[in-house]
Amino acid sequence: MSKIDFTQTLASGLGPYNSNVGQWWVKKTRNAAHAAAYLNIASHIVQCAQREKGLIIDYGCGTGLLMKRLVDVLPAWKFLGIDGSTAMLRGAETWARTKRKGRPASIEFRLAKLPDFSVSAPKADIIVFTFPNIVSVASERRQFEEVFRSDRDIAGLLAMKQEEGEGVEALYDSLFMSRVVARNLRFLLRKGGLCIRVDYSQGARDELCRFDQVATLFEEGSLNAKQSRLQPQKFFKLLYSQYYPSPVIRDVYDQTNDKDFLEGGYLVSLLQAI
Q: Write the CATH number for 122.
A: 3.40.50.150
Is residue 159 domain-resident?
A: no
| Residue 181 φ then ψ, to 5° | -60, -45
124-130/55-59 β-pairing: parallel
Is residue 91 domain-resident?
A: yes
Is residue 168 domain-resident?
A: no
Is residue 52 domain-resident?
A: yes
DSSP calls for 41-66: HHHHHHHH--SSS-EEEEET-TT-HH
Q: Residue 2: which pLDDT band, with cuts at 50, 70 and 90?
A: low
pLDDT tens per residue across span 91-138: 999 999 999 999 999 999 999 999 999 987 789 999 999 998 777 788
pLDDT of 89 above 90 = yes
Q: What is the DSSP letter of 229?
A: T
pLDDT tens per residue across span 18-68: 888 888 888 988 899 999 999 999 999 999 999 999 999 999 999 999 999
Is residue 150 domain-resident?
A: no
Is residue 224 domain-resident?
A: no
Is residue 171 domain-resident?
A: no
Q: How far is CA 25 from CA 31, 65, 94, 119, 261, in A?
A: 10, 12, 17, 27, 17
Residue 111's domain comprises 6-136+181-217+236-273
Give the per-residue pLDDT at 83: 95
Is residue 169 domain-resident?
A: no
What is the pTM (predicted TM-score) of this model? Answer: 0.94
Give the per-residue pLDDT at 202: 94
Give the per-residue pLDDT at 136: 78
- Helix, strand and coil content of the chain, in percent to the nearest 5, comes to 45, 20, 30
The total number of structural domains in the chain stands at: 1
